[in-house]
Amino acid sequence: MRFRPALALACALSVLAAAAGSADSIWDYQAVNPDGTGSHPLVGADPLPENRVTVEGVALAGVAEILNPADMYTIFIQDDTSRRGGIQVWSGRFYQGPQWRPAEYVDFQAGDRVRVTGLLANHNGKVFINDRHSGSPETRFTVTVLGHVGLPDPELIPSVGNCNFFDPTRRDGGERYQTRLVMLHGVQLGAGNWANNSLLTVSDSTGSVGLLLSRMGDFTGNPRPQGAISVVGIMDQEDNALPYHDAYRIWVKKQADVAAALGSCREVQSLAAGESVALAGKVVSRVFDGHFYIQDEGRAGGVRVVSDREVTAGDVVSVMGTVVEQDGEKAIAARYIAFGKTRAVPLTVGGGVARLSGSLAPDGLLVRVPGTAGPTSQGGFTLYEDSGQPVAVSLSAAAAPQPGARVAVTGVAVRRSGSMELEAAHGGDLRILE
Ligand SMILES: [Ca+2]
């Protein structure tokens, strides 16, 4: 057969294209089994050159912002080409001995775009890249700083109940946000020391989740926040027993990433300059050079935001920053702006939904209803509300609770054939009450 260079080139290109097209994303590497371990075939694969993966993204913290670089090296990488996916990279001095730190583990800053090539492994609910706890150069990962793009905008998590449970489909829950920069607004701080390396909790009406203060942070000696707070940090999981369904936490870098959570824009006017504050789900009204205005959706008030971020009238944003005075008015100098989301906390209907009708009926609304589990049925169960009335609950991806269990069901209230039903999306919508 005659050699046909054009065809050979075309074949080579198509092979290359196929290889490029099949390159998996960080999100693909993070896919989970029902027990929370990684399901990608390269997770835990033999330490061979062909089993190494290459990922790129933005470092969410600098080399000395989270763990002590004298003992550990870690990068939290967020996929900046997609709205989903992040991966941690980790090595410890203990396993590397006197070679610490190997030359491959270079310095980097928060906001640097990095490329890492290495081996995937499971770690307590995360698929990460590590050196397999070996000092061998063959298992080391390599890190390249590609440039500096700055931190991504955090993503507002609608409520604690959206991030404190395991959803293997990753449409919601901790896996949806894992190893990405996130914001929680309007949460209460639980018990525990306000100090570096302290693990606390934050909660709202939908549940609680961990809050880990960075070992290398500036929390020790700074005042413990009071009242409702807003936090920006890295969504993380550290569950030391299978199944890896629990122990989600927001890993916060600095005191400045925690602020008083305000409800309305107007509240800024009564605060002193220098206070850290946050507002969630506000509407951009007008944009000027170096600042813009946001207002409450109900138009109760508005406030200036000092920021060069590109926004457009009508954008919904959440803002965290410091109260300043500018041109004679109180404003927020933005440290973070989260785009396009608002808080979506279910309406708690303590007396039940079955009795509500007409203009009071919460048709199509997300509600949270406490009650007692009754008999299971095809695709769901009956909930006996505290009023004594039965309501059908449909579960698309969760097992029904034991009859007699005290539960709170979150779901969309829908009217079918004249009676109200609750449609729950996932296991996080079903909480057993103590
Ligand atoms: Ca996980």
pLDDT in tens, 56-99: 999 999 999 999 999 999 999 999 999 999 999 999 998 877 88
Task: For the chain, give the mean pLDDT.
Answer: 92
Is-cis flag, bond preceding 101, omega within 30? yes
Question: Residue 8: pLDDT above 60?
Answer: no
Instruction: State the pLDDT at residue 354.
Output: 83
At residue 183, the pLDDT reads 98
Q: Strand, coil or helix: what is 219?
A: coil
pLDDT tens-digit profile of 197-210? 999 999 999 999 99
In this structure, the answer to whether residues 276 and 315 fall within a common structural domain is yes
Q: How many domains does the chain have?
A: 4
Mean pLDDT over 335-352 rounds to 88
The residue with tokens 């609608």 is 158
pTM metric for this prediction = 0.89
User: 37: CA distance to ligand 1 center in Å?
Assistant: 7
38: DSSP letter: B
Contact, 130 vs 166, CB < 8 A? no
Ligand 1 centre and the CA of 126: distance in Å? 5
Q: Are residues 285 and 254 in the same domain?
A: no
Kindly give the distance from the C-alpha atom of residue 144 to the centroid of ligand 1, in angstroms, as a whole number: 26
- The reply to whether omega before 158 is within 30° of 0 (cis) is no
What is the reported pLDDT for 3? 44
**Looking at residue 368, what is its pLDDT?**
93
DSSP-assigned states of every residue in 404-433: T-EEEEEEEEEEETTEEEEEE-SGGGEEE-
Cα of 62 to ligand 1 centre, how many Å? 22
Q: Does residue 34 sit in the same domain as residue 100?
A: yes
Q: Could you tell me which of 51, 143, 146 has the C-alpha nearest to residue 102?
A: 143
CA distances from 424 to 77, 169, 367, 394, 401 (A): 32, 14, 10, 6, 13
Indicate whether 78 belongs to any domain: yes
Same domain, yes or no: 122 and 36 = yes
Q: What distance in angstroms lies between residue 121's CA and the mean position of ligand 1's atoms?
A: 12
Check which CATH number belongs to the domain holding 240 and give it: 2.40.50.140
- Give the Å distance between the CA of 307 and the centre of ligand 1: 34
Q: For residue 12, is it within any domain?
A: no
Q: Are residues 366 and 304 in the same domain?
A: no
Q: Is residue 292 part of a domain?
A: yes
Where are any strands of DSSP class E within 2-125? 53-59, 72-78, 86-92, 112-123
Q: How far is the CA of 201 from the centre of ligand 1 (A)?
A: 18
Assess whether 294 and 250 both reside in one domain: no
Domain C-terminal end among 339, 371, 405: 339
Distance 180 CA to ligand 1 centre (A): 12
For ligand 1, the distance from its centroid to the CA atom of residue 175, given in whole angstroms, is 5
DSSP structural state of residue 102: P
Same domain, 198 and 164: yes
Asked if residue 136 belongs to a domain, the reply is yes
pLDDT digits (tens, 9 = 90+) for 273-293: 999 999 999 999 999 999 999
Cα of 263 vs centre of ligand 1, distance in Å, is: 32
Please give the pLDDT value at position 22: 53
Phi–psi pair at 187, nearest 5 degrees: -115, 155
Model pLDDT, residue 16: 45
**Are 144 and 38 within one domain?**
yes
pLDDT at 416: 85
Q: Is residue 9 part of a domain?
A: no
Residue 18: its pLDDT value, please? Answer: 40
Distance (Å) of CA 118 to CA 95, 138, 141, 178, 301: 16, 10, 4, 20, 51
Q: Are residues 55 and 143 located together in one domain of the fold?
A: yes
Q: Is residue 214 part of a domain?
A: yes
Reference 75, options 31, 124, 131; nearest CA is 131
Q: Is the pLDDT of residue 322 over 90?
A: yes
Instruction: Please give the distance, rounded to the nearest whole angstrom, from the Cα atom of residue 261 to the centre of ligand 1.
Output: 28
Q: What is the pLDDT of residue 396?
A: 82
Exposed/middle/buried for 80, CB within 10 Å: 0-12, 13-18, 19+?
Answer: middle
Q: From residue 245, how far is each of 88, 175, 276 by CA, in Å?
A: 18, 9, 33
User: Is the domain of 100 the same as that of 39?
Assistant: yes
Closest to 394 measured CA to CA, from 365, 363, 361, 416: 416
CATH number at residue 269: 2.40.50.200
Residue range 161-179, pLDDT digits in tens:
999 999 999 999 999 999 9
* 192 pLDDT above the threshold of 70: yes
Of 379, 387, 407, 276, nearest in space to 336 by CA: 276
Query: In terms of residue numbers, what domain contains 314?
Result: 262-339
Provide the H-helix boundaries in 190-271: none
208 within some domain: yes
The residue out of 339, 369, 388 marking a domain boundary is 339
Residue 3 resides in a domain: no
pLDDT of residue 127: 98
Judge if 26 and 143 occupy the same domain.
Answer: yes
Q: 368-394 pLDDT, tens per residue?
A: 999 999 999 989 999 999 989 999 999
111, 53 Cβ separation under 8 angstroms: no
Q: What is the pLDDT of residues 395-432, one digit of tens each?
A: 987 789 999 999 999 999 998 888 889 999 888 899 98
Query: Which residues have a Cβ under 8 Å from the Cβ of 120 and sit 6 or more positions away?
Result: 29, 38, 40, 42, 43, 44, 45, 53, 127, 128, 129
Q: Indicate the residue among 286, 318, 339 that finishes a domain.
A: 339
Residues 210-267 have pLDDT tens digits of 999 999 999 999 999 999 999 999 999 999 999 999 999 999 999 999 999 999 999 9
Do 54 and 126 fall into the same domain?
Answer: yes
Residue 356: its pLDDT value, please?
Answer: 82
85 Rama class: left (phi>0) / alpha (psi -120 to 50) / beta: left
Instruction: Calculate how far, in angstroms, residue 238's C-alpha sits from the geometric centre of ligand 1.
Output: 8
CA of 235 relative to ligand 1 center, distance in Å: 10
User: Tokens standing for 254?
Assistant: 């600095």
